[in-house]
Amino acid sequence: MSVTAPPTVLRRRTGIAAGAALLALAATGCSGLGRTAVGPVSYTTEKNEVVTVHSPSVKGCHAMDPAGSGKVDNRTLIDMVLYTTRDCSGRGTAYVATTFSDTNAEHAPPWRSYRFIH
């Protein structure tokens, strides 16, 4: 004796499986597009002007004011690294965790760019 499911049940199961596969494909295909570090990054220029960037992209290097900054606030949900160069290269870096700040010592070179760790 063999048991076979009715055709309507088989179609429903096939439709559910196809829908789940499409949903998974759409979620993985779009997950990397336009990802931002939710929240603001603020820094103070040498003229004591506060510059705030809201939800910057997590990809790439972000250049700051050409003169740089001595104080940076990371109020995003992603950790960041500060650089003394405009192209996110070189040694003198600082790691700033999410919701933390960094203030340079009096004679330290200013921060000129940052990158997110993701």
Q: Tell me the CB-side half-sphere exposure of residue 36, using CA atoms within 13 A.
A: 10
Gyration radius of the chain over CA positions: 24
Both ends of the chain: CA-CA distance in Å? Answer: 57
Q: What is the pLDDT of residues 69-86, one digit of tens each?
A: 999 999 999 999 999 999
pTM of the model: 0.71
Q: Is the pLDDT of residue 30 over 50?
A: no
Nearest alpha carbon to residue 43 among 64, 26, 13: 64
**What are the tokens at 25?**
């494909």
Q: What is the pLDDT of residues 33-70, one digit of tens each?
A: 579 999 999 999 988 999 999 999 999 999 999 999 99
Q: CA-CA distance, 101 to 94, in Å (whole number)? A: 10
Specify whether the CB–CB gap between 95 and 101 falls below 8 A: no
| Per-residue DSSP letter, 29 | H
User: What average pLDDT does this structure show over 22-36?
Assistant: 58
